[in-house]
Amino acid sequence: MDLPVQCYRVSTNFRMLGSFPVEEVELYLTVCGTERCTPDKFYGPTVRRDYHVHVILSGKGTLEMEGITYALQRGQIFVTFPGVDVFYYSDPEDPWHYAWVSFNGSKAALYLEKAGITRENPVRDVYLEPEEFLVIIEKILNHHEITVANELTRTALLYQILALLVNSQNQNLERQKKSLPYDYSPDIYVDNAICYIHTHYAHTKVSDIASYIGITRSYLTHIFKQKMQISPQEYLLSYRLEQASRLLRTTGKSVQEVAEYVGYENPLTFSKMFKRVYGLSPKNYRLKVTQQE
């Protein structure tokens, strides 16, 4: 249902908002709405230019797409894809009530894939109460006035719907004891781990770092070693001692104060670690640096 301009429509069993066409961006809304279908309600056969996500709130219906027929009911999601011929219709005895949101953009297919939805697998369970999607779609519909603020709000709510789809998919995988797919490249995770260490080195553990960036400790260790040739634990300890050497060179803090500042509660442990790396105790290291100036 491609609309050339923004259009807000309301009837007894139908509510819909269509938006202005936009230039290609990461993600943008085209249409959303809700409908209590009549027993003879059908759509198509047709080919759309965007992605169309339907959340079934009650009743039953049928989707026909690419030679496959899907019998659908409450608690399921079905998606139609750009350029694909589709036909769907409500059950004559128990017609469905659904909410839908239609969108496009350069990352639309990626976000749906992260939610477990592809052209080959266009149907999945909601994994939560379908009314959670309805609440967000109703919020979009309630921001139908043509203003910049409403445009931003509608886009934010669209992202919220996609986030809900992805999170519900991940929660379902966790319930099944399956490993979650990692969304970004190893380089991005390692770079963020290093940034986190540089900021929180004094009061963090490797498990904290992994938890913060959203991956397992074992996976972090694996990719960190691949890129940096040392483990994250080794990098963390090395960075702590590097900061300690800087403080010894540039400040008048006592050895105990330096130890505490970089995360060592026991000054003796700190001195042993420092000497192992720099070949001198912290006290003698400072003395040597002072004499060289």
pLDDT digits (tens, 9 = 90+) for 128-139: 999 999 999 999
- Within a domain: residue 231? yes
- Do 68 and 151 belong to one domain? yes
The parent domain of residue 220 ranges over: 186-292
- Confirm if 20 and 68 have CB atoms less than 8 A apart: no
- Do 61 and 121 belong to one domain? yes
105: its two tokens: 């953009």
Residue 85 has pLDDT above 60, yes or no: yes
∠193-285-232 over CA atoms, to 5°? 15
Residue 12 has pLDDT above 90, yes or no: no
Residue 98 has pLDDT above 90, yes or no: yes
Amino acid (1-letter code) at residue 282: P
Q: What CATH number is associated with residue 284?
A: 1.10.10.60
pLDDT band at 3 (very low <50, low <70, confident <90, very high): very low
Domain count, the chain: 2
- Do 127 and 220 belong to one domain? no
- Within a domain: residue 247? yes
Last residue of a domain, one of 175, 201, 228: 175
In this prediction the pTM is: 0.76
pLDDT at 165: 96
Average pLDDT estimate for 143-171? 92
- Residue found by looking up tokens 């998919």 in the block: 169
**Distant-in-sequence, close-in-space partners of 142: CB < 8 Å, separation ≥ 6:** none
Buried b (16+ CB within 10 A) or exposed e, 191-203: ebbbebbeeebee
- Within a domain: residue 2? no
- Within a domain: residue 1? no
Query: What phi, psi does 2 have (nearest 5°)?
Result: -95, 120
- Do 209 and 165 belong to one domain? no
Amino acid (1-letter code) at residue 33: G
277: its two tokens: 């790396």
pLDDT at 71: 97
**Distant-in-sequence, close-in-space partners of 205: CB < 8 Å, separation ≥ 6:** none
Q: For 137-151, what is each residue's pLDDT tens digit?
A: 999 999 988 888 988
Cross-strand pairs, 98: 35, 56
pLDDT at 4: 41
- Residue found by looking up tokens 């589709």 in the block: 86
Mean pLDDT over all residues of the chain?
Answer: 90
Rounded CA-CA distance 267/25 in Å is 55
- Do 224 and 282 belong to one domain? yes
- Do 126 and 237 belong to one domain? no
- Within a domain: residue 80? yes
Residue 20 has pLDDT above 80, yes or no: no
261: its two tokens: 């500042």
Backbone conformation region of residue 249, classed left if phi is above 0, alpha if psi is from -120 to 50, else beta: alpha
- Within a domain: residue 256? yes
Q: What CATH number is associated with residue 93?
A: 2.60.120.280
The strand ranges marked E within 105-204 are: 123-125
Last residue of a domain, one of 156, 175, 194: 175
